[in-house]
Amino acid sequence: MKRLLYKELLNWKENKSRKPLILNGARQVGKTWLLQSFGGSEYKKMAYISCEKVSGLESVFADFDTGRILRALSAISHVDITPYDTLVIIDEVQEYPRALTALKYFCEDAPEYHIAVAGSLLGVTLHRGVSFPVGKVDILQLYPMTFSEFVEAVDGEQSAEVLLSGDWPLICTLHSHYVELLRQYYFVGGMPGAVSSYCDGAGPAAVSKTHQRILQGYADDFSKHADNKEVPRIKMIWEGIPRSLAKENKKFLYKDILAGGRASQFELALQWLMDTGLAYKVNRITQPRMPLKFYEEPSIFKLFMLDVGLLGQQMLVPAENVLVGDNIFSEYKGAFTEQYVFSQMATTDIPIHYFSSNDSRVEVDFVVQIGSDIIPIEAKSEENVRSKSLKTYVEKYPGLKGVRFSMKPYIDQGWMENIPLYAVETFVNKKKGM
Q: In terms of Cα–Cα distance, which of 131, 57, 51 is closest to 89? A: 51
Cβ atoms of 347 and 424 closer than 8 Å:
no
Together in a domain, 268 and 378: yes
Q: For residue 181, tell me if it sits in a domain.
A: no
Looking at the structure, tell me whether residues 118 and 261 fall in a common domain.
no
For the segment 244-263, the average pLDDT, to the nearest whole number, is 90
259/352 same-domain check: yes
**Strand ranges across the sheet with 86-91:** 45-50, 86-91, 114-119, 21-24, 138-141
The enclosing domain of 73 has a CATH number of 3.40.50.300
**Across 249-253, 294-298, 361-365, 387-391, least confident range:** 387-391
Q: Report the run of H or E that residue 305 belongs to, with start and end.
A: strand 296-305
Longest dimension (CA), the chain: 66
User: Average pLDDT for residues 390-417, to the nearest whole number?
Assistant: 92
Domain limit, last residue, from 92, 116, 141: 141
On the question of a cis peptide bond just before residue 298, with omega within 30 degrees of 0, the verdict is no
Instruction: For residues 335 and 329, give the distance between their C-alpha atoms in angstroms, rounded to a whole number.
Output: 10
Quote the pLDDT of residue 324. Answer: 59
State the pLDDT at residue 234: 96
pLDDT above 80: residue 327:
no
Q: Tens digits of per-residue pLDDT, 17-49?
A: 999 999 999 999 999 999 999 999 999 999 999
Please state, in angstroms and rounded to a whole number, the distance separating the CA atoms of residues 122 and 272.
11
Do residues 315 and 332 lie in contact, with contact meaning Cβ atoms separated by under 8 Å? yes
Measured CA to CA, the distance from residue 208 to residue 189 in angstroms comes to: 11
Share of the chain above pLDDT 70, in %: 93
- The C-alpha atoms of residue 428 and residue 434 are separated, in whole angstroms, by 9
Q: Is there a single domain that holds both residue 311 and residue 419?
A: yes
Distance CA 262, CA 405 (A): 34
Taking the C-alpha atoms of residue 310 and residue 278, their distance in angstroms, rounded to an integer, is 10
Question: Which pLDDT belongs to residue 127?
Answer: 46
Q: Percentage helix, strand, coil, to 5, in the chain? A: 50, 15, 35
Nearest to 286 by CA among 274, 298, 276: 298
Show the CA angle centred on residue 227, arms to residues 222 and 229, nearest 5°.
Answer: 100
pLDDT digits (tens, 9 = 90+) for 418-434: 999 999 999 999 998 76
The two beta strands, 296-305 and 352-356, are unpaired
Query: Are residues 273 and 389 part of one domain?
Result: yes
Which range is most confident: 134-138, 165-169, 249-253?
Answer: 165-169
Does 174 reside within a domain?
no
The string of pLDDT tens digits covering residues 177-203 is: 999 999 999 999 999 999 999 999 888
For the cut 80, the answer to whether the pLDDT of residue 319 exceeds it is: no
* 3 state SS of 284: strand
- Please check whether residues 277 and 384 belong to one and the same domain: yes
424: helix, coil or strand?
A: helix
Distance of CA 365 to the CA centre of its chain: 18
| Calpha distance 205→338 (Å, rounded) | 25
Task: With respect to residue 106, please indicate whether it lies within any of the assigned structural domains.
Answer: yes
Same domain, 136 and 239: no
Predicted local distance difference test score (pLDDT) of residue 249: 83
Assess whether 258 and 398 both reside in one domain. Answer: yes
The answer to which of 235-249, 267-281, 316-330, 387-401 has the lowest mean pLDDT is: 316-330
Domain count, the chain: 2
Q: Order of strands across the sheet with 411-412?
A: 296-305, 279-285, 352-356, 363-370, 373-379, 402-406, 416-420, 411-412
pLDDT computed for residue 329 by the predictor: 54
Q: Last residue of some domain: 95, 125, 141?
A: 141
Does residue 355 sit within a domain?
yes
Tell me if 327 is assigned to some domain.
yes
Instruction: Please check whether residues 126 and 248 belong to one and the same domain.
Output: no
Residue 178 within a domain: no
Number of H helices, E strands in the chain: 20, 13
Q: What is the pLDDT of residue 370?
A: 93
- Contact 50/92 with Cβ under 8 angstroms? yes
Q: Which residues pair with 48 in a beta bridge?
A: 89
Task: Say how many C-beta atoms besides its own lie within 10 A of residue 432's C-beta.
Answer: 13
383 vs 330: CA distance, rounded Å: 9
Closest by CA position to 417, among listed 166, 162, 163 = 166
Domain annotation covers residue 315: yes
**Listed residues 73, 107, 141: the one ending a domain:** 141
Same domain, 248 and 370: yes
In a 3-state reduction of DSSP, which class is residue 193? helix
pLDDT at 14 over 70: yes
Measured between alpha carbons, how far is residue 321 from residues 184, 316, 328 in Å? 11, 11, 6
Digit-coded pLDDT (tens) for 54-112: 888 889 998 999 999 999 999 999 999 999 999 999 999 888 888 889 999 999 999 99
* 232 and 326 co-located in one domain: yes
Query: Quick check: is 219 in a domain?
Result: no
Q: What average pLDDT does the segment 354-373 reach?
A: 88
Q: Which domain holds residue 31?
A: 6-141
In this model, does residue 320 exceed pLDDT 80?
A: no
Do 247 and 124 reside in the same domain of the chain? no
